[in-house]
Structure 1
Amino acid sequence: MPLADVFASHLDWLADPTAWVALGTLVVLEIVLGIDNLIFISILTNRLPPERQKNARRVGIGAALVLRLVLLTTVSFIVTLTSPLFTLFDHGFSWRDLILIAGGLFLVWKATKEIHHSVDPHDPKENMVGQAVSLTFGAAIVQILLLDLVFSIDSIITAVGMTNEIAIMYIAVICAVTVMLIAAEPLSRFIASNPTIVMLALGFLLMIGMTLIADGMGFHVPKGYIYAAMGFSALVEALNMMARRKRLRRQAVDTVDQGPLG
């Protein structure tokens, strides 16, 4: 087959309206799925020295893009990861299940550790043997890569379940990671400047970790429920932030009205 015909065969979907609907839906879904990854990257990189945070975020998100694109080239292999390896408690565990469980456990451990650090940042007992440790650039990148792998596999399997057109998958992944790259800096600044948001985001990571473990164990929790709960919690926190700012402005006005002599 001539090269031009091969190239044209990969563009047939452009004339199919349903393919465009699938592309739009998949782009939105990939962006939503990327929120989990982006929250983790933002929280982790905010613990690095200020001059290294931006570079770490770029490396982490760039790695997420590379992992997703590489996994798309092996999409036929990724699909086989859903085949059961063994059965336990009447559930057939696949490689995907094991990866999700491992990723969920890591996320629960990391979120718990970060909550402890946020509550008591001066506690020197940061690891299992009571030795003080600080987050390094290399350690941050390794942890980001581990979660990138878990979220990337879940993302690609979701994409495969929605469309058979590889070009649509590539476009959706690139669009989603581009949005992550654009949103990384504002999100990180927002999290860093609002301590209560840090705790809320860590709570999200705990919930996501438990959801990954449940999914790997065969108990599927619809993601719509998860993101609805996250959205409601974020709305409540936004109202609390507005109330705090209003209270601080009122206190500032009262202080000015009282004057230096009260």
Structure 2
Amino acid sequence: MPFAEFIAPHFVWLDDPTAWVALATLVVLEIVLGIDNLIFISILTNKLPVEQQKNARRIGIGAALVLRLILLATISFIVSLTTPLFTLFDHGFSWRDLILIAGGLFLVWKATKEIHHSVDPEDEKDTMIGSGVTLSIGAAIFQILLLDLVFSIDSIITAVGMTDEIAIMYIAVICAVTVMLIAAEPLSRFIAKNPTIVMLALGFLLMIGMTLIADGMGFHVPKGYIYAAMGFSALVEALNMLARRKRAADKAAGRNGGGH
């Protein structure tokens, strides 16, 4: 069968244990890299009317999957994006570098703008914590697609550096995006119910944006440092949330005790 003969060469790695290790590693890595994208999608879609949020999240994550699958199909072109176009300050800038810098600048601008709207008491027209909604679903999807492109290119180049098997890359991307799709709703609800988490997430986006700019400028920051900082910050915020709940419970118990 022609189709079977076409597919078979792409799965010769099934009998190779090292290939399965590479697949598992790449799936985990793609999921971790997808956290950035998922945080952005959750924050952005929470600004939409409630009835549009779920569809916008699904479209955004679906677009991420389609983009990554298309980029994998043009993998030779994606690899060529790392070829330097010009040299400035002793650093050769490639299309990948320029895309990362542009995406980083967009994230820094977006996070800064949302932080301003969140802390400015005079600005109630476009706030992530308040109930005001000024973002249209079209604008939200456009911004999601823009960041999807940046994160997808970085994700694919990372995958190319880990394995030569295109089938492993496809499976890893599909698994990672499936996890994103499952986690999107709970994460968005959690962010919406906890206003302090919004500020923390915006801080994450600001840090990710600066990291993308630094990477594009030739200053590579190990991802482990970034996610360790995010994990530590999330742990501190979780402890703060537990402390607030404990104080609220003690206060309620005091009121109930005083009533008797």
Q: TM-score, normalised by structure 2?
A: 0.95
Confirm whether residue 38 of structure 1 aligns to residue 38 of structure 2.
yes
Give the match for residue 120 of structure 1.
120
Asked whether the equivalents of residues 108 and 209 of structure 2 are also in contact (C-alpha less than 8 Å), the reply is yes
Structure 1 residue ranges, 4+ long, deviating more than 6 angstroms after superposition:
none
Write the distance in 2 (CA, Å) between the matches of 1:28 and 1:249. Answer: 38
Give the match for residue 89 of structure 2.
89
Write the distance in 2 (CA, Å) between the matches of 1:76 and 1:236. Answer: 43
Confirm whether residue 137 of structure 1 aligns to residue 137 of structure 2.
yes
Which residue identity is paired with 2:52? Answer: R
**Structure 2 portions without partners, runs of 5+:** 127-131
Deviation at 1:118, TM superposition (A): 1.3
Q: Please give the residue correspondences for 1:1-262 in structure 2 after superposition, counting only pairs within 5 Å.
A: 4-120=4-120, 122-123=122-123, 134-259=134-259
- With over 3 angstroms needed to count, the CA separation of the structure-2 counterparts of 1:68 and 1:44, relative to structure 1, is same
Asked whether the equivalents of residues 49 and 133 of structure 2 are also in contact (C-alpha less than 8 Å), the reply is no
Report the secondary structure of 1:92's partner residue. Answer: strand
Aligned residues, how many?
Answer: 255
Which residue identity is paired with 1:180? Answer: M
Write the distance in 2 (CA, Å) between the matches of 1:253 and 1:12. Answer: 65
1:151-198: CA deviations, max 9, x gaps? 000000000000010000000000000000000000000000001000
Write the distance in 2 (CA, Å) between the matches of 1:215 and 1:134. Answer: 33
Deviates further, 111-120 or 1-10: 1-10
Write the distance in 1 (CA, Å) between the matches of 2:177 and 2:140. Answer: 19
Write the distance in 2 (CA, Å) between the matches of 1:149 and 1:178. Answer: 18
Give the match for residue 129 of structure 2.
none
Write the distance in 2 (CA, Å) between the matches of 1:216 and 1:198. Answer: 27
Which residue identity is paired with 2:231? Answer: G
- With over 3 angstroms needed to count, the CA separation of the structure-2 counterparts of 1:58 and 1:214, relative to structure 1, is same
- The root-mean-square deviation of aligned C-alpha atoms, in Å, is 1.7
Write the distance in 2 (CA, Å) between the matches of 1:125 and 1:201. Answer: 21
**Structure 1 portions without partners, runs of 5+:** 127-131
1:202-257: CA deviations, max 9, x gaps? 00000000000000000000000000000000000000000000000000000001
Deviation at 1:5, TM superposition (A): 3.7
Deviates further, 112-121 or 57-66: 112-121
Deviates further, 96-105 or 111-120: 111-120
Q: Percent identity?
A: 84
Write the distance in 1 (CA, Å) between the matches of 2:230 and 2:124. Answer: 32
Which residue identity is paired with 1:12? Answer: V
Q: TM-score, normalised by structure 1?
A: 0.94
Write the distance in 1 (CA, Å) between the matches of 2:120 and 2:50. Answer: 21
Which residue identity is paired with 1:60? Answer: G
